Amino acid sequence: MPIDFNDPLRPIRFWFRGEIRSVTAVSPTRSVLQWLREDEAATGTKEGCGEGDCGACTVVIGSRDDSAPEGLRLEAVNSCIQFLPTLDGKALFTIEDLARDGELHPLQQAMVDAHASQCGFCTPGIVMSLWADHENRRQAPSRAELCEALSGNLCRCTGYRPILDAAEAAWRTPCGKLARAPIRAALEDLAAEPSLHYSHDKAVFHAPRSLEALAALRLARPDARLLAGSTDVGLWVNKQLKELPELIYLGAVDELKHLHFSEEWLEIGAAVTLSDAFAALTRLDPGWQELGLRFASRPVRNAGTLGGNVANGSPIGDSMPGLIACRARVVLQQGPTTRELPLEDFYLGYQKTALQSGEFIRALRIPRYLGKPGETRMFRSWKVSKRQDQDISAVCAAFALCFDDIGQIQGARIALGGMAPTPRRALQAERALHGQVFDLRAVELAMAALEADFQPIDDLRASAAYRMQVARNLLRRLWMEYQNQQWLRIDEVSA
Ligand SMILES: Cc1cc2nc3c(=O)[nH]c(=O)nc-3n(C[C@H](O)[C@H](O)[C@H](O)COP(=O)(O)OP(=O)(O)OC[C@H]3O[C@@H](n4cnc5c(N)ncnc54)[C@H](O)[C@@H]3O)c2cc1C
Ligand code: FES
Ligand code: FES
């Protein structure tokens, strides 16, 4: 169906090296990294894996955000999986921006002084991750916080001890921070321009700015691919060499980026980044914190969205077990019409969801309270994978239990990823726990019931037997943590 764009085709425009750059004549799926290295000869930013895994390509993106210092948010992301048009209206910083007047930035100097680089291939990416972290903090981070800032940066030869030493040393050196206000002002001017409809060589990229415009566009162009953080879609282009002739970008729709705590719900807009979504979920229940740190890496969480994770519907997607255990609902929109489904009903089969033609995910709604007033609750979500950071789950499990005042389980919701073609509830195990006191006998019954709930498969990541053993063991871990009374009273949960 033809669509009448009120906004004209125009170049991609973003702040780079102190000025607004206008770019045309590049494919909408050209990555920021390709543009930097091949078109701009800005080769300080390196290419390693091309799939968001190694961090050699880390750059920092600035975007308008009234809650950030001077209204400018700064975040490290992987430039190899970001398409250039997603920069429209934003600011791009690379390693070449750090040294001033021939002097290295204190972070760079500290890397030299601490012998924190050998081959140097990872070094620009590591410095950019540390720079974003440095810019965003008021006080020196702990060693653990520095490790987390580097969770997306792989160094194969130096080892992390000197890198962490350098990062700590940089905090002991007086160091000016970026003047964000003029950049924010420049981005404000860009925001006053019409929204982006960009086209090159028959490929099209739309970046609507309102929910209404998005809904109309989605309805008119149901075959166009929705693009949010591009941490899945970017790999389809880089690794599967997929052609994406038409993209509808969600990142310019502010209404999809809202986070709202009401009396009943936490509502998370579909385009809220994973970093912000996990922070909000952790405010709702500290049981989310560990998963939030184990999901991918910081740069992937800064770009990827909760809506994208849910829509992608991978059987090993990490947010869904927790969301399902917490009774999350997914809000879908098609044109002006919205509907809501329990998240568990959204998944119909392997990579098959209830999304209809012209429909998109608008938000996730997570109930503030799991049980009845006076009940106590316990929520945990754990991911088991071969590496601590940046790895894909063999199994991801989430448990939400509510107890009455005599300690009987009045509500049990257990959901697992990696055990079936979709993230799924363990209904038999839930039944085994219902009405029981949470003791060793009850947990053993629930562990046995898991065998009736799932028939996992063998694949490269894990054998079926291993997955089942892990799922059973996580139930036992839940019981052990319960023994330690590390659980919350409902009325203590505040947001
Ligand atoms: C290095 C690396 C590590 C990763 N680690 C993990 C991990 O630990 N755990 C994990 O679960 N995932 C992981 N992922 C996968 C990915 O980061 C997540 O699935 C992420 O949440 C996808 O979100 P996105 O915004 O980037 O989606 P995109 O890549 O932009 O889109 C993904 C899919 O969702 C669709 N879509 C997006 N938004 C909507 C919407 N609002 N409505 C309808 N459809 C929509 C798109 O059309 C596309 O089909 C990793 C990816 C990388 C590159
Ligand atoms: S090149 Fe490895 S993360 Fe981008
Ligand atoms: S210095 Fe060689 S990979 Fe880090």
Q: State residue 385's pLDDT score.
A: 93
What torsion do the CA atoms of 25, 28, 29, 30 make, to the nearest 10 degrees? 30
Q: What is the CA radius of gyration of the chain?
A: 23
Q: Is 224 in the pocket of ligand 1 (CB under 6 A)?
A: no
Query: How far apart are alpha carbons 196 and 8 in whole angstroms?
Result: 8
The two tokens of residue 20 are 């607004």
Q: Which of 38, 51, 61, 128 to mutate to test the pocket of ligand 2 (most atoms within 8 A of CB)?
A: 51
Looking from the CA of residue 126, the nearest atom of ligand 3 is 4
Q: State residue 2's pLDDT score.
A: 44
- CA 8 – ligand 3 centroid, Å: 46
Q: In what order do the strands lie in the sheet with 58-64?
A: 19-23, 12-16, 91-93, 58-64, 72-78
What residue owns the CA closest to ligand 2's atom 3? 52
Q: In what order do the strands lie in the sheet with 259-261?
A: 259-261, 265-269, 359-367, 329-334, 337-342
Q: Is 269 in the pocket of ligand 1 (CB under 6 A)?
A: no
| Ligand 3 pocket, CB under 6 A | 117-123, 155-158
- CA 123 – ligand 3 centroid, Å: 7
Question: Taking the CB of residue 473, how many other CB atoms lie within 10 A of it?
Answer: 15
Query: How far apart are alpha carbons 256 and 432 in whole angstroms?
Result: 39
Query: How far apart are alpha carbons 103 and 18 in whole angstroms?
Result: 18
Looking from the CA of residue 271, the nearest atom of ligand 1 is 41
Looking from the CA of residue 270, the nearest atom of ligand 1 is 41
Query: How far apart are alpha carbons 495 and 492 in whole angstroms?
Result: 10
- CA 49 – ligand 2 centroid, Å: 5
Query: How far apart are alpha carbons 233 and 240 in whole angstroms?
Result: 10
Q: State residue 7's pLDDT score.
A: 61
The residues of the chain scoring below 50 in pLDDT are: 1-2, 489-495
The two tokens of residue 168 are 């700590």
- CA 153 – ligand 3 centroid, Å: 10
What residue owns the CA closest to ligand 1's atom 33? 312
Amino acid at 275: S
- CA 350 – ligand 2 centroid, Å: 28
- List the one residue out of 436, 463, 491 whose CA is nearest residue 475: 436
What residue owns the CA closest to ligand 3's atom 4? 155
Query: How far apart are alpha carbons 324 and 413 in whole angstroms?
Result: 8
Q: Which ligand has the nearest atom to the CA of 124?
A: 3
What DSSP line would sit under 161-216, residue for residue? HHHHHHHHHHHTS--PPP--HHHHHHHHHHHTSPPEEEEETTEEEEE--SHHHHHH
The two tokens of residue 265 are 């719900």
| Contact (CB, 8 A) for 290 and 278 | no
Looking from the CA of residue 417, the nearest atom of ligand 1 is 11
- Chain-centre distance of CA 245, in angstroms? 25
For each of the domains in the chain, give its residue range(s) and CATH number, in order of start: 15-200 (1.10.150.120), 257-367 (3.30.465.10), 376-492 (3.30.390.50)
| Contact (CB, 8 A) for 134 and 175 | yes
Q: Which ligand has the nearest atom to the CA of 47?
A: 2
Q: What is residue 271's three-state secondary structure?
A: coil
Q: State residue 1's pLDDT score.
A: 40
- CA 70 – ligand 1 centroid, Å: 30
